[in-house]
Structure 1
Amino acid sequence: MPSSLDSALFAALGLRAKDLALLEPDLERWDASALTPAQWNARFLPHYFGTYPPALLHRDFDAALHNLHLARGTKRSIIAPRGAAKSTWKTLAYPLRCALEGWEPYVAILSDCSTQANNQLRHIRLELETNQRLASVYRTACAPGAEWNESKLRLKNGAVIEAFGTGKKIRGHRNRSARPSLIIFDDVQSNADIRSAELRQHAWDWATRDVLPAGDERTNYLAVGSALHRESVAVRLGQLAGWTGRTYRAVLSWPERADLWDEFERHATNLADANKLETARAFYERNKAEMDRGAEVYWPDRFPIVELMLKRAEVGATAFESEYQGVPGVPEGAEWPAEYFDRTDFFFDSWPADLVFKIQSLDPSKGTSEKSDYQAHVLLGLSQFGTLFADCELRRESGWVERAIDIAAAWRPEELIAEVNNTMGLFTPAAEQVLRERHAQGRPVALKYTETIVSRPKPVRIRALNDYLRRGQLRVKNTPGGRLLAEQLRDFPHGAHDDGPDALATAVLRMQELVT
């Protein structure tokens, strides 16, 4: 019968005594296939799953993976804390079982480098070669097949599990006639990979142009990872049409006594104290009742609040947010701290009625390809209380002058200001032509427009936004363009694009000239 640890695990999962009967040592092959993922994991991989009762997210994993092989074409992305056993569930136990049962003829496991991907496969291979529980039930499948190496396993039942590092070619791979039937993205980017906009784009291009087309309409895709950056693959996959994205946080509810936890962190990081961790823990034990008040964590048996707060003190608040809270990280060296953009009132839905001044700016670009700069159209309003409200359209199209005038016709700004450094004098003639055409069509637009040739370096201009952000006096409209503007502000000065912040700064500087 199952051990007491197994019994505790099943009790925590709400299973009954008759469920435990399925786990007798003489378990038959057909009985094994009927087990839920949690039951199967506890029976065959107790060394991975028998130490702690499951977290709430593991119950979700159990439900989501149960009979997933029957629901073809599923696409799911999970952002979960470090140490949450997400890889153990989804990159070890699940593909191992799928191959043994013959549910998935070809499983592809993807990690940030070939070494890491092969290491994931090595854990699966070790179970196939040494796990007597598996061998007693899956007698044929556990035996090595024709291919049995560090990057590819072909089981005797014909199932294949293959490992790939990020950037490696997967499109075109087959197991006989079968394309990959299960593709698992497991932390396909490292911290180093997400610091560069070019590397982030390279990983995304690989994921969307090589990996996703490698499957077919029946392929199941699973992605697991941490929110290292808003443009990380795991985050962006969950935002795609047809995908389901879910984020799990380590701290579900923060403790009420932030003052005591601040003191705890000071103890934990006191370089003058050779026993700083012991000092911090002693402080916690003395104040445990007060410090625990209000706290709720995702896996209390494995990571109580004190352990998570020690980790937060160790890695820093920003890293903790991305690695444990699922909040995409701010790039190293970003101009402004994340809290400027995480205010609950940073985004707004409707323009306020008390705007006393409106202006529009245009940062043009003649490119229309994916790699071109955006044409940035910024709408900026000043409220009677001094708060700036902004929206933005970021486009790549040929008719940018026409678009600017269409926006102005609806926005009705006091002025449209266009940066013309790279337009070769084309803006004014083009604008005049469009306005004449509108008038002839019976759609006149009353518009004052001004050209500006900027001489100050772009970073200097954009830093004109600093005081407004610091004081919480800049709000952005909750539109696709507004959200992209906010992302570019977060990433400045190391983002792939800064057209939105540049156009916003142009509007702010011109507004300052006109209203003062």
Structure 2
Amino acid sequence: MLAEIYRSGAKSVHIDLGIPLYLYVTDRLKFMLLFGQTDSKAKKLISDIQSELTYNQKFIHYYGKKFKFGDWSDGDFTTTDGAKFMTSTPGQSPRGLREGTARPDYIVFDDVDTRQRVNNDELSRRLFDFAWEDARGTFDEGSPNRRFVVANNNFHKNTLINMLKDEFKKINKRLKREGFQSTFFVLTVPAVKNLETFEPNWPEKTSAEYWRQKYISTPYRSFMREYMHTHIVEGTIFQNKYIQWKPRNQFRSYEALVFYGDLSYKDAGDYKAMVFVGKSGREFHILTAFVRQTSRYNVAKWLYEFVEANNLLKNNVQYFIEGLFAQDEFVSDFDVVGDELGWYVPVVADEKTKTGKFDRIESMQGYFQRGNIWFNEAEKDSTDMTELVNQLLAFSKGSGAHDDGPDALQSAISKANVSALTNQTPMKTTSRKEIMKRQKNRF
């Protein structure tokens, strides 16, 4: 379960204290393992259970003394009836962890993310792998009690809870398709129900007036991140206020339609980006995008599926891929899919030499500032379009952030400009008689 609860929403009180104590007294918890951001923070979180078991006289009256001499240290203690409570931190291997024959049956990750980690894709992916593989792998397979809980506010796309939320969506789709009942749940609690009435989700603690004042006195992006689970990354070049959405036009109404792919040489390590842009007057409409860490074959497969689903072969669409590296090999990847399907998308390599990637991408800033760039509203919840927007917002000199999406977008806009001019310029013809008249006497 993911407890996506706003900051100060009593996540830890429920997930680290109330629920595990309830499970313990109902004989459904034998081994709790809590992961905190640091060792001291993890011990502080689990000390609340230790205090209740030791000093809460009402608890002792109903359930008896649980304090066990000689085994009651901070962050690692066992009760008189054998229940184990233990803390750890991400990175400390839990493989093979057990108490006697008992393995963990209640695992919690509470507020483990840091600003440094979420701003680094590699560190975030390591935490995800550790939680989802190493930690979850300590459960006793087949046991009826295997509870895995992550508690945090969802303040960044790279937080553990957000990455698991995306994973849960994929898992639940597969389970539904195969006819299985899901056990992967997401509890989402923002501070207020909406930003009009500011009606609080915990009215016993705070009022609508409190949250209205909080909203006014807090930077918008901070409020949305910390209290509403909405990620807003403020870019230095491409700012969030430049990101506009509206429905696309009919394909045939555009002056130019261009697909452009920036495909890395590495097969699956880097992002592969392909962006579809339509030019309409002064506007450039980003109609769809593919921005993923995957193979070139998967990009080609996606392109063919999109072209077929939208019957694009009947439209005047240009298809380019960047041809700086192994262009014949890259085009071949698309032809392989064409061989499988029995028809072909006319993808060609862009042989134009490119220099100064940063300057090229930055040159789009004027289009964004003037409101000439529009994203397809139908794609607003698409993971690919979200990744493209995230890469734009993260783009800056020396940031080290992925820029494959913005690079493909800049090239698509450039090609669309040229294509629109070519399509609009009337063809000039000269008769053979006129040509002969201009020539010098050949005799």
- Report the TM-score range of the alignment, normalised by the length of the smaller protein: 0.7 to 0.9
Give distance in 1, aligned partners of 2:11 and 2:26.
Answer: 21
Determine if the alignment matches structure 1 residue 208 to structure 2 residue 132: yes
Partner-residue secondary structure (3-state), 2:286:
strand
TM-score (norm 2): 0.77
Q: 1:448 to 1:102 in 2, by over 3 A?
A: closer
Deviates more, 1:119-128 or 1:188-197: 188-197
Identify the match of residue 364 of structure 1 among 260, 263, 270. Answer: 263
Give distance in 2, aligned partners of 1:196 and 1:322.
Answer: 18
Q: 1:403 to 1:495 in 2, by over 3 A?
A: farther
Q: 1:131 to 1:389 in 2, by over 3 A?
A: same
Determine if the alignment matches structure 1 residue 191 to structure 2 residue 96: no
Determine if the alignment matches structure 1 residue 481 to structure 2 residue 381: no
- RMSD (Å), alpha carbons: 3.3
Instruction: Report the residue type matching 1:175 in the other structure.
Output: E
Q: How does 1:497-516 map to 2 (within 5 A)?
A: 497-516=402-421
Instruction: Report the residue type matching 1:130 in the other structure.
Output: Y
Identify the match of residue 336 of structure 1 among 235, 238, 243. Answer: 238
Partner-residue secondary structure (3-state), 2:290:
strand
Determine if the alignment matches structure 1 residue 253 to structure 2 residue 194: yes
Q: 1:172 to 1:441 in 2, by over 3 A?
A: closer
Identify the match of residue 78 of structure 2 among 128, 145, 154. Answer: 154
Partner-residue secondary structure (3-state), 2:193:
strand
| Deviation sequence 1:7-41 (CA, Å, 0-9, x none) | xxxxxxxxxxxxxxxxxxxxxxxxxxxxxxxxxxx
Give distance in 1, aligned partners of 2:248 and 2:33.
Answer: 43
Give distance in 2, aligned partners of 1:194 and 1:253.
Answer: 27
Give distance in 1, aligned partners of 2:339 and 2:98.
Answer: 62
Q: Equivalent residue for 1:279? A: none
- Displacement of 1:237: 1.6
Task: State the structure with bigger RCO (CA 8 A, min sep 6), 1 or 2.
Answer: 2
- Displacement of 1:210: 1.4
Gaps of 5+ in 1: 1-75, 256-293
Give distance in 2, aligned partners of 1:160 and 1:356.
Answer: 68
Identify the match of residue 373 of structure 1 among 267, 270, 288. Answer: 270
Q: 1:121 to 1:408 in 2, by over 3 A?
A: closer
Q: How does 1:53-452 map to 2 (within 5 A)?
A: 76-140=1-65, 142-144=66-68, 146-215=70-139, 216=141, 218=144, 219-239=146-166, 240=168, 241-242=171-172, 243-255=184-196, 294-313=197-216, 315-330=218-233, 335-341=237-243, 345=245, 354-369=253-268, 372-383=269-280, 386-394=283-291, 396-397=294-295, 399=297, 406=304, 410=308, 411-412=312-313, 414-421=317-324, 423=325, 426-428=326-328, 431=331, 443=343, 445-446=345-346, 449-452=349-352
CA contact (8 A) 2:254 2:279 kept: yes
Count of residue pairs the alignment pairs up: 392
Q: 1:405 to 1:99 in 2, by over 3 A?
A: closer
Partner-residue secondary structure (3-state), 2:136:
helix
| Deviation sequence 1:49-100 (CA, Å, 0-9, x none) | xxxxxxxxxxxxxxxxxxxxxxxxxxx1121111111211111222233234
Query: Identity over the aligned pairs, expressed in percent?
Result: 21
Partner-residue secondary structure (3-state), 1:253:
coil
Give distance in 1, aligned partners of 2:61 and 2:262.
Answer: 68
Q: Equivalent residue for 1:50? A: none
| Deviation sequence 1:229-263 (CA, Å, 0-9, x none) | 012111222232252223222122334xxxxxxxx
Instruction: Report the residue type matching 1:316 in the other structure.
Output: P
Q: 1:197 to 1:435 in 2, by over 3 A?
A: closer
Give distance in 1, aligned partners of 2:334 and 2:240.
Answer: 41
Q: 1:200 to 1:496 in 2, by over 3 A?
A: farther
- Displacement of 1:203: 1.8
Partner-residue secondary structure (3-state), 1:153:
strand
| Deviation sequence 1:329-367 (CA, Å, 0-9, x none) | 427x654344444x6x36x58965533311111212232
Give distance in 2, aligned partners of 1:89 and 1:472.
Answer: 48
CA contact (8 A) 2:283 2:374 kept: no
- Displacement of 1:295: 3.7
Q: Equivalent residue for 1:277? A: none
Q: Equivalent residue for 2:431? A: none
Give distance in 1, aligned partners of 2:257 and 2:224.
Answer: 37
Give distance in 2, aligned partners of 1:437 and 1:79.
Answer: 41
CA contact (8 A) 1:198 1:496 kept: no
- Displacement of 1:225: 0.6
CA contact (8 A) 1:414 1:448 kept: no
Give distance in 1, aligned partners of 2:336 and 2:53.
Answer: 76
Give distance in 2, aligned partners of 1:135 and 1:434.
Answer: 70
CA contact (8 A) 1:91 1:120 kept: yes
Gaps of 5+ in 2: 173-183, 422-443
Instruction: Report the residue type matching 2:102 in the other structure.
Output: A
Deviates more, 1:130-139 or 1:372-381: 372-381
